[in-house]
Amino acid sequence: MSRNESQKGLCQIRNFVERHSQTNVLVVNVPKRFDLETHSCFNYEVNAFNRKLDKHMKSFKNANTVEVTSDRDHYTKRGLHLNRKGKEEAAKTTVSSIKEIFKLQKKHLIKMSWKELIL
C-alpha cells in the first residue's frame, strides 16, 4: 500500500460517508499482515492508514470504525487470512457496533393523552 493509494482510499471512504449522511455507516479498518515481519513497511502503512481512518470517521455522526482483531491467534498459519476464531471475533465486534448504534438512536417518546391528540 503506497502513500498515494492510501490517501486515495481515505478520500473515497470520506466521500462515501459524506454522500450517505442519512445512513449509518460501519467502516472496517485494514488488518495487519502476520505473514510479514512486524516492522515491515507494509504493516507500518496499515497502522498509519488505520489511525487516519479513525481520525476522519470521528468527524462524522453517521460513521463508526470497526477494528478487526490484531491477535495472531485469530489468523491462519500463514498469517494472511482470519481463521474460524478470528471470523467469530470480527462478527462479535461488528454486532456490538451495530447494537451500539441502535442504543444511541433510541428516542424518548412523549406520551400524550387522547384529548391532546384530537385537538
What is the C-alpha separation between 117 and 111, in angstroms, rounded?
10
pTM recorded for the entire structure: 0.76
CATH class for the domain made up of 3-118: alpha beta
What pLDDT does 104 receive? 63
What pLDDT does 71 receive? 85
Q: What is the pLDDT along the chain (119 residues), one digit of tens a residue?
A: 555 688 999 999 999 999 999 999 999 999 888 888 878 888 899 999 999 999 999 999 899 999 887 888 999 988 888 899 999 999 999 999 888 887 766 566 666 666 655 55
What pLDDT does 80 receive? 85
What angle in degrees, to the nearest 10, is found between the helix axes of 41-57 and 3-19?
Answer: 20
List the chain domain ranges: 3-118
What pLDDT does 60 receive? 93
Cα separation values, 110 from 107, 113, 114, 117, Å: 9, 10, 13, 12
